[in-house]
């Protein structure tokens, strides 16, 4: 399955309080439960932020494990730089201190 | 005096070479990024995160000012809301902000996960701004109240301003090359 971010969240996937995040997360959870791969396409998205990624992925990794999430969920094109880094930061930040 | 301090002084005097975009939105920011030809995705991400900070913690109507000066790109985001020096201490986890100067609190805000909300994972705008400066030939100037912090690559300098700015200012000066222009 391909999730086209621009169709659900619009051209600016920037804020962590965007209602679209819950919708996307619901789809990802369903696919993870069914062990089905999902590609998140960012084509057409003008700006994507670490805040948005932080709200979307780290919780899933903590819930389903890094191996399962990274093997089933992919971004196209792959995340780079601060966006990619935010996933591991987000996982770390959510661990009890 | 660091170059980015001169930018600050010129900004305060009303630098006519700066182009100003008022009430900056995601779309307007994207148009500026496209207009300038910024290709460094990390820089775009930093600008958006700082904009979100300004919209959430400021007066809701931040402005973006920019200019190309030789081989340097200067970007300024300003807002007239509650300053960083007031916002950060609202985080109850940060008990050690009591009695600290505005510049010390601003310096703290550049570190990972430091935010006025106290929510896990927040506070990434100024953190990534600082990271961008330390990983590139960039300088930043963050001012609020009478305090300011200058970061030149990985070096930090705290300053006390003579007058209360009455706003929060974030200045980024980077080379065109590091901006991907």
Q: pLDDT per residue over B134-174, tens digit each?
A: 999 899 999 987 889 999 988 999 988 887 777 889 999 99
Say yes or no: B113 contacts chain A, CB-CB below 8 A. Answer: yes
Q: Are A80 and B180 in contact (CB under 8 A)?
A: no
Question: Helix, strand, or coil here: B179?
Answer: coil
- pLDDT value of residue A97: 61
Backbone angles phi, psi at B117, to 5 degrees: -80, -25
CB atoms within 10 A of CB B108: 20
Find the CB nearest B30 among A47, A49, A51.
Answer: A47
Note the pTM of the prediction, 2 decimals: 0.89
3-class secondary structure, B159: strand
Pick the most confident of A70-84, B75-89, B134-148. Answer: A70-84
Mean pLDDT across B5-27: 94
Asked if A16 and A54 touch (Cβ cutoff 8 Å), the reply is: yes
Q: What's the CATH number for B3-179?
A: 3.30.565.10
Q: What are phi and psi of A54, to 5 degrees?
A: -60, -35
Give the chain B residue nearest A45 (alpha carbons): B30
Cβ neighbours of B46 in A, within 8 Å: 82
Task: Enumerate the domain spans of chain B.
Answer: 3-179
Using a CB–CB cutoff of 8 Å, tell me whether A74 touches chain B. no
B48 shares contact with chain A (CB less than 8 Å): yes
Test the B interface: residue of A17, A78, A82, A93 with most B CBs within 10 Å = A82
DSSP string over A14-83: --TT-THHHHHHHHHHHHHHTT--EEEE-TT-SEE-HHHHHHHSHHHHHHH-HHHHHHHEEEESPP-HHH
Q: Cβ A83–B124 below 8 Å, yes or no?
A: no
| CB pair distance less than 8 Å for B45 and A47 | yes
Bridge partner residues of B68 (DSSP): B73
Task: Identify the closest residue of chain B to A15 by CA–CA distance.
Answer: B52
E strand or H helix that includes residue B29: helix B26-36
Position B97 scores a pLDDT of 58
Please report which confidence band the pLDDT of residue B91 belongs to, taking 50, 70 and 90 as the band edges.
low
Burial B45-62 (b: 16+ CB within 10 A, else e): bbbbbbbbbbbbbbeeeb
Average pLDDT value for chain B: 85
pLDDT of residue B57: 74
ipTM (interface pTM): 0.92
Instruction: Give the model's confidence band at B118: pLDDT under 50 very low, under 70 low, under 90 confident, else very high.
Output: very low
Helix, strand, coil fractions of chain B, as percent rounded to 5: 40, 25, 40
Output the six-digit token pair for A81. 């730089």
- Mutate which: B38, B40, B48, B115, vs A, most A CBs within 10 A: B48
Per-residue tokens: B126: 């100024």
Q: Is the CB of A46 less than 8 angstroms away from the CB of B30?
A: yes
Question: Which of B26, B49, B120 lies closest to A50 in CB terms?
Answer: B49
Nearest to B121 among A11, A15, A93 (CB): A93
Q: Which residue has the higher pLDDT, B159 or A74?
A: A74
**How many contacts, defined by CB atoms under 8 Å, are there between A and B?**
54
Q: Verify whether the Cβ–Cβ distance A12 to B30 is below 8 Å.
A: yes
Q: Give me the residues paired with residue A12 across strands.
A: A47
**Per the structure block, which two tokens stand in for B127?**
């953190």
Tokens of B148: 């300011």
In chain A, % of residues over pLDDT 70 = 98
- Please name every residue paired with B148 in a beta bridge, in sequence order, or none if there are none: B143, B159
Residues A76 and A28: their CA atoms lie apart, in Å, by 15
Mean of pLDDT over chain A: 95
Stated as kind and residue range, the H or E segment containing B21 is strand B19-21
């Amino acid at each position: 399955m391909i999730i086209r971010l621009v169709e659900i969240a619009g051209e600016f996937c920037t804020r962590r309080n965007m209602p679209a995040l819950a919708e996307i997360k619901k789809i990802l959870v369903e696919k993870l439960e069914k062990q089905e791969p999902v590609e998140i396409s960012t084509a057409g998205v003008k700006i994507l932020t670490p805040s948005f990624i932080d709200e979307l992925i780290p919780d899933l990794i903590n819930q389903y494990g890094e191996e399962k999430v990274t093997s089933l969920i992919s971004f196209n094109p792959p995340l780079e730089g601060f966006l990619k880094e935010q996933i591991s930061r987000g996982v770390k930040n959510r661990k009890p201190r | 005096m660091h170059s980015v301090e001169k930018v600050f002084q010129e900004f305060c005097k009303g630098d006519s070479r700066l182009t100003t975009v008022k009430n900056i939105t995601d779309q307007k920011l994207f148009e500026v990024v496209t207009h300038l030809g910024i290709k460094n995705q990390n820089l775009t991400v930093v600008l958006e995160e700082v904009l979100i900070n300004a919209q959430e913690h400021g007066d809701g109507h931040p402005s973006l000012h920019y200019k190309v000066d030789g081989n340097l790109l200067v970007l300024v985001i300003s807002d007239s809301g509650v300053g960083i020096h007031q916002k950060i201490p609202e985080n109850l986890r940060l008990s050690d902000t009591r009695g600290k100067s505005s510049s010390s609190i601003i310096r703290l805000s550049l570190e990972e996960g430091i935010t006025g909300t106290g929510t896990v994972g927040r506070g990434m705008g100024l953190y990534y701004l600082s990271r961008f400066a330390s990983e590139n030939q960039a300088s930043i100037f963050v001012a609020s109240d009478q305090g300011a912090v200058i970061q030149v690559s990985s070096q930090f300098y705290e300053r006390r301003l003579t007058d209360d700015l009455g706003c929060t200012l974030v200045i980024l000066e980077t080379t065109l090359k590091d901006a991907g222009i």
